[in-house]
Amino acid sequence: MGIVPLIFTSGWASGINAYAVVLLLGLMGRFGGADAVPPALERTDVLIVAGVLFLCEAVADKIPYVDTVWDAIHTVIRPIAGATVAALLASQHPGSLGQLAAGALGGTTALLSHCIKASLRMAVNTSPEPASNILLSLAEDLSVAALVTLAIFHPWAAASVSATLLVIGAVLVWFAVTRIRRFLRNRRTRREARKAARGPQAVGMPS
């Protein structure tokens, strides 16, 4: 079961930035001697493609509303990437966890973290200034890099942090959705009140 926390963490990170996960794991496997990394991620072509796509995401992820479109496109890509990386990691440890089960764990975790990220980004995009968007994107990138690196050397610690971030993210999404619903409900109530106030005046006006 030693591979499970690494799969869980890589799944969480893939939901945030799948290209960074592939790039980091590949580099650590190729140059850092990380035995848990499958050879498929260490290939030169994989590293080049992951690097280019990571740079694209690094730019798109920091532009308000562009990041929302990018997230929408990656609703399918990130879970698939999380499942693929998880299955490859499981293949390095036969008998520890089946590749199908590993793929399901990695893909599900990636989908959850992706949904949380996309929801929070939509809430942040309501802010008129771009600084909060850029800061959040940088925090996500640093979190992915730190947790993927930690998962190689201390997988259970990394998995615990990832699980905590999932819970915190879900609470923040619930809070944001609640606030948005309350705002929309209050705005609708005020609009209806103004219409009701104008109604009698409009009836009493001379033709």
Q: How far apart are CA 192 and CA 176, in angstroms?
A: 24
pTM of structure? 0.83
Look over the chain and give the mean of its residue pLDDT values, rounded to a whole number: 87
Note the pLDDT tens digit of each residue in 98-113. Answer: 889 999 999 999 999 9
Which residue shows structure tokens 């999404």? 173
pLDDT for res 207: 47
Handedness of CA 187, 193, 196, 198 (dihedral sign): negative
For residue 59, name the pLDDT band (cuts at 50, 70, 90).
very high
**Alpha helix (H) residue ranges in the chain:** 4-31, 44-60, 66-91, 99-124, 131-153, 155-204
Cβ atoms of 74 and 18 within 8 Å: the answer is yes
Q: How many CB atoms lie within 10 A of CB 80?
A: 17
Mean pLDDT across 151-162: 94
d(CA 20, CA 28): 12
Tally of residues, the chain: 207
CA gap 159, 115 in Å, rounded: 19
Task: Parse the chain into domains and list their residue ranges.
Answer: 4-202
Check pLDDT > 70 for residue 170: yes
Residue 134: pLDDT over 50: yes
What pLDDT shows up at residue 122?
84
Residues 19-55 have pLDDT tens digits of: 999 999 999 999 988 888 999 999 999 999 999 999 9
